[in-house]
Amino acid sequence: MANIKNVTKKTKAQAMGMHTEVLTGRTQQKFFNPDEAENFYYFGTYDVDFNKRTDLDVKDMTAAEANKEIDNLMSQGYGTIVIKNPQGKHSIGVGILNKLNLIFEGSLGYFGIGSCDGPTVRINGRVGWSCAENLMAGKVVIEKNAGSCFGAAIRGGDLICKGSVGARTGIDMKGGTIIIGGDAGAFTGFMMQRGRIIILGNVGINLGDSMYDGTIFVGGEIGSYGSDAVDAELTKSDQDWLKRKLKVAEIGENFNVSKMKKIVAGKKLWNYDNLEPTEKKGAI
């Protein structure tokens, strides 16, 4: 582990002139000061009107062109954008740090809705690998199936797939909630560090393998447990939360949550005493 007290000391590489920057070893306390919250903003965010709606046909656009046009429409105040003909293109709807209603009439390829903070997205089709990776806040609803690495490393927000998902759902997630209406593949919750995953159907092998923290709820059969994943008691408070969450997610509203299994980390591998940035924003 790096010794923060000695960060100003030159490394051998720096002494040889290989690079000149001095890493400061900034901690999360230093990173976020609640007193400065009112000054917090993302560069390039827009004041949009949700009642101002437009369509965008991306059939003949590249992903970069489509994303640029979404940004352009937001800059004009459009708060509801309907994307036509996405046709499985990769990397569409990424990097949106804004409140926005984004509707896709079709399916997305890889890395759709990546690195977003704030939008409400509905995809009336399927998504490929790594949908909504690094989501900070917002809500993403997929009406059909999703590929592997669904919700990888998300830190907040609600990610809902009404169909089934591939392997490694919620890998490395650090917050937020993932809800799956169908089945989930192998290594679901692999190395998850926080947040919750709800699977109404069956789940594959190695569930919650090497999970640090967080909670997984499963309604169906479990292929096998991963290393460090263990059963826990499903409390009344868990059931109430599950009911609320499934109702808000418009999925499995009548599902019998009392029979769900609750899986948590069997060992305390790390301490997470600091709030995630999204949680801090919520606390403010």
Partner 1 sequence: MCGIAGLIHRGKSSKVGHELQGMLQALKHRGEDSTGYALYGETDGKNFIMRFKVGENVGEGSTSVAEDVSVYDERKKIVDSYLAEMGAKIVKEERVLPYSLRYEIQYDKKDLLEFSQKIESIPGVEILSMGKSLEVIKDLGNAKMVCDRYNLDKLVGTHAIGHARMATESGVDIKSAHPFWGYPFSDVSVVHNGQLTNYWNNRRALENKGMRFMSECDSELIAVYLAEKMRDGASLEEGMKESLTGLDGVFTYFVATKDSLGMAKDTMAAKPLVLYESDDLVAMGSEEIAIRSILPQEIDTYDPFDGEVKVWQI
Q: Which residues bind partner 1 (CB under 8 A)?
A: 87-90, 105-107, 109-110, 125-126, 128-129, 144-148, 163-168, 183, 185-187, 204-205
Q: CB 63 → partner 1: shortest distance, Å?
A: 11
Distances (CA, A) of 112 to 134, 179, 230: 11, 17, 32
For the bound state, the minimum distance from the C-beta of residue 206 to partner 1, rounded and expressed in Å, comes to 9
Q: Which is nearer to partner 1, 128 or 277 (CB)?
A: 128
Residue 191 C-beta: closest distance to partner 1, Å: 14
Q: Are 114 and 90 in contact (CB under 8 A)?
A: no
CB of 147 to partner 1, least distance (A): 5
- Residue placing its CB nearer to partner 1 in the complex, 128 or 189: 128
Strands in the chain per DSSP E: 49-57, 78-84, 101-105, 117-123, 137-142, 158-161, 174-180, 194-199, 215-218, 229-232, 261-265
The three-class DSSP label of residue 195 is strand
